Amino acid sequence: GAGVSQSPRYKVAKRGQDVALRCDPISGHVSLFWYQQALGQGPEFLTYFQNEAQLDKSGLPSDRFFAERPEGSVSTLKIQRTQQEDSAVYLCASSLAQGPSYEQYFGPGTRLTVT
């Protein structure tokens, strides 16, 4: 398909485990965003890439969260030593260019449950 894809769709982790969430943006999209969506809430920004450069990581909640996009396409969000409060849906979005006017296209999300 031509949309944003994410894997896995569901992930259950025991507290203290490390997890890696993958995002495949739409081909050719320059900008890539990660958001965290808690149950019943709107998505909240985590981090932003323009090509391979991470230009904004102000939303990452702690140093246990790390994201990369080494070749400017696929991105991975890694959470180390998971805690119960990390349980949420993690959404990836991409947009064609870098400006704020461009709509973001979202993937289906990865639902992370930390037990």
Partner 1 sequence: AQKVTQAQTEISVVEKEDVTLDCVYETRDTTYYLFWYKQPPSGELVFLIRRNSFDEQNEISGRYSWNFQKSTSSFNFTITASQVVDSAVYFCALSESNTGRRALTFGSGTRLQVQP
CA 37 from centre of chain: 10
Residue that the structure tokens 């180390």 belong to: 80
22 touches partner 1 (CB under 8 A): no
Q: How many residues does the chain have?
A: 115
Stretch that binds partner 1, among 21-29, 65-73, 77-85, 103-111 (CB under 8 A): 103-111
Decide whether 71 or 103 has the Cβ nearer to partner 1: 103
7 touches partner 1 (CB under 8 A): no
State the Cα–Cα distance between residues 14 and 72, nearest whole angstrom: 31
Greatest Cα pair distance in the chain: 40
**Count of residues in contact with partner 1, rule CB under 8 A:** 29
52 touches partner 1 (CB under 8 A): no
Q: List the one residue from 21, 26, 89, 114 that touches partner 1 (CB under 8 A).
A: 89
Contact 24, 32 (CB under 8 A): no
Q: List the one residue from 79, 88, 93, 114 that touches partner 1 (CB under 8 A).
A: 93
42 touches partner 1 (CB under 8 A): yes
Contact 110, 89 (CB under 8 A): yes
31 touches partner 1 (CB under 8 A): yes
Decide whether 92 or 114 has the Cβ nearer to partner 1: 92
Contact 23, 78 (CB under 8 A): no
